[in-house]
Amino acid sequence: HGRLDILVQNAGIYPWQLIENTSPEDWDRVMAVNLRGSFNATRAALVPMKAQRHGRMLFTSSITGPHVTSPGHGHYSATKAGINGLIRAAALEFAGYGITVNGVEPGNILTEAIELHRGAAYIQNMQDSIPLGRLGSPRDVANAFLFLASDDASYITGTTIVVDGGQLLPEGKDFRLLPP
What would the pLDDT profile of 91-129 be if each residue is shown by its tens digit? Answer: 999 999 999 999 999 999 999 888 888 889 989 999 998
Catalytic (active-site) positions = 76
Stretch 131-135: mean pLDDT: 94
Which CATH number belongs to the domain containing residue 120 in this structure?
Answer: 3.40.50.720
Does residue 90 lie within any of the structural domains? yes
Does residue 1 lie within any of the structural domains? no
CB-CB neighbours of 157 under 10 Å: 20
d(CA 109, CA 136): 4
Report the number of distinct structural domains present in the chain. Answer: 1
Domain that holds residue 76: 6-177
The two beta strands, 99-106 and 160-163, are: parallel
Q: Is the pLDDT of residue 44 over 90?
A: yes
pTM of the full predicted structure? 0.92
Stretch 64-88: mean pLDDT: 95
Q: What percent of the chain has pLDDT over 90?
A: 83
- Give backbone dihedrals phi and psi of 179, rounded to 5 degrees, phi first: -70, 150
d(CA 138, CA 129): 19
Does residue 65 lie within any of the structural domains? yes
* DSSP reduced 3-state for 55: strand
The pLDDT, as a whole number, for residue 142 is: 98
Q: In what order do the strands lie in the sheet with 6-9?
A: 6-9, 55-60, 99-106, 160-163
| Chain mean pLDDT for the chain | 94
Does residue 165 lie within any of the structural domains? yes
